[in-house]
Amino acid sequence: MPALLALALSTVALLTPAPAGAEPPKPAAPPESAAPGPQSAPSVGADTLKPGRPAARPYLSEEEAPDTVKILSPPPASHSPLENADRAAFNTTRALKGSARWDLAANDVAEGASAILDTYACVLGTRIDAARVPAVVNLFERARLDIARGTKAPKLHYRRLRPFVGNDAPICVQRTQQLADSFSYPSGHATQGWAYALMMASLIPAKSGAILARGRVYGESRIVCGVHWLTDVAAGRTNGSAIVAALMGNAEFRADMDKARIELAKVVEGNGPPPVEATCARENAVLTAPALQF
């Protein structure tokens, strides 16, 4: 098992475009049977962070938005070393079902303003009520629309199937046709998670290292969950970085970052309610372990 995972990790660094003419597989996704577990909607962009309210407009215009199809390498070609590494990572991590790492992956499925802030509660040392940080919520909500646009284009371009399609291997969320029909490359959760991690690291630079480590684990949870390939997550980090880089060139985004930075600093320094001790112990165990070495 460790040898297979070592192969998966070693090959991620070798991500290169597939040979010219290589076609990503595009078969229709077969029906998926329901299984117990939390519901996981398709990735970012399906809803706003405040359901029931109109979505804010994105920061970037169509002209300003990065061409993420051009930026990202294609997903691995069929039977290539990278695809073999993807399958090794998927097969190996199925053994994590029932573990603390599996539980954290299931918890990392959650999206929305409160979920984003809860993700960093242990890192920040305090739980933050979304109602107390409206500038932060506004920042995340608007940026999420840019993230959704930057994720949708390569998903539709490559139409890669998720790793659980066509098999009965356990995943940490409920199997639904909607999830099976949503494409895998790049990971929307990993894109969003890494983009928010970069933003949070800029908002609270004193804790940037711990924030970015938690953002990495959030993305890796998609591999543990069994809903994304390892290279989907690697591409998600590249995707998130590209989108945040473009956002940093936008004056409105920078102004909202400044507002959120002041607001968040006051709340973090205000000695709010502590995070759940058991949750933080679980997270710390994952963060101190080598990446994907279970």
User: How many helices and strands in the chain, by DSSP H and E?
Assistant: 13, 0
Q: Write the CB contacts of 249 (distance below 8 Å, at least 6 apart in sequence).
A: 64
Backbone phi and psi for residue 152, each to the nearest 5 degrees, phi listed first: -65, -40
Which residues participate in catalysis according to the annotation? 189, 222, 228, 232
Q: What is the pLDDT of residue 90?
A: 96
Cα dihedral 55, 57, 60, 62 in deg (nearest 10): 100
Per-residue confidence in pLDDT tens, the chain, 294 aa: 443 334 343 433 333 344 444 444 444 344 333 334 444 544 455 444 444 555 579 999 999 999 999 999 999 999 999 999 999 999 999 999 999 899 999 999 987 777 889 999 999 999 999 999 999 999 999 999 999 999 999 999 999 999 999 999 999 999 999 999 999 999 999 999 999 999 999 999 999 999 999 999 999 999 999 999 999 999 999 999 999 999 999 999 999 999 999 999 998 887 789 999 988 998 888 888 766 654
How much is the pLDDT for 10? 41
Query: Which of 62-78 are b and which e, b meaning 16 or more Cβ less than 10 Å from the residue's Cβ?
Result: eeebbebeebbebbbbe
- 108, with CB counted inside 10 A (0-12, 13-18, 19+), is buried
Task: Provide the residue ranges of all domains of the chain, joining segments of one domain with +.
Answer: 77-287
**What was the pLDDT predicted at 282?**
86
Supply the pLDDT for residue 43: 45
Copy the structure tokens of residue 208: 């940037």
CA dist 218 and 222 (Å) reads 7
pTM for the whole thing?
0.81
| pLDDT score of 40 | 52
The confidence score (pLDDT) of residue 3 equals 39
User: Which CATH number applies to 77-287: 1.20.1740.10, 1.20.144.10, 2.40.128.720, 1.10.8.60?
Assistant: 1.20.144.10
User: How big is the chain, counted in residues?
Assistant: 294
